[in-house]
Amino acid sequence: MIRTRATVSSRLAAVLVALGLAAGAALAAPTATKFDPTLDVQGTKLQLNGAGTRFRAIFKVYDMGLYTTKKVSSPAELLALPGPKRLQFTALRELPGTDLGRLFLKGMGENSSKEAVQRHALSSARLIEVFSGRSKMLPGESFAMEFMPGKGTTFYILGKPQGAPVGDDEFFGMVMKIWVGESPADGQLRDALLGLDKE
């Protein structure tokens, strides 16, 4: 009986280990979206720094890619990096526009000071207006946020710019902190964007 219990225990442990490895493999799985390794942003070549999937509970929400002028592996490096940057998204499920705008604003509020949020109230209002102005994003549809120094942040839906650029580098830093700040929308996604999931 003792041997049987030991055998059962060892088998159970092996199953649990296998399940753990399988779960880890699932979390590290590549995105459904194939992100281009490089992009040209107004004459500047950007490279894919990292890409991952945003989860809410067990549901996939969107795939996201971060493009930068050079590889970075920490939030501090990313926020200090000069030059253009682009956040590229692909919806993986139906996303109401009002929900997107609200969640983006909530993420900025949780990762930036109240003073900074107030300073960029007009730019934030534009972000909400862009996404709330669209009833929903459908699975497979894309949107993006692109920063160009001296010009500001341009929002894109289905590859089309939604009006003129807004804000400055501080505002785009606030936007990036939604995903790489102290209270990121998804910790595993943050690690994927910074390439830490491959270490």
Q: Which two tokens stand for residue 41?
A: 């942003």
Q: Which long-range contacts (CB under 8 A, 24 or more apart) does 108-116 make?
A: 108/174, 108/175, 108/177, 108/178, 110/181, 110/183, 111/174, 111/177, 111/178, 111/181, 111/182, 111/183, 111/184, 112/174, 112/177, 112/181, 116/170, 116/174
pTM attached to this predicted model: 0.84
Average pLDDT over residues 96-120: 94
Nearest of 124, 153, 158, 156 to residue 141 by alpha carbon: 158
Name every residue whose Cβ is closer than 8 Å to that of residue 149 and which is 6 or more positions away in sequence.
82, 83, 84, 169
Q: What is the pLDDT of residues 120-167, one digit of tens each?
A: 999 999 999 999 888 999 999 999 999 999 999 999 999 999 999 999
pLDDT of residue 199: 59
Q: What percentage of the chain exceeds 90 in pLDDT?
A: 76
Average pLDDT over residues 16-23: 36
pLDDT of residue 132: 86
pLDDT of residue 197: 75
Q: What percentage of the chain exceeds 70 in pLDDT?
A: 84
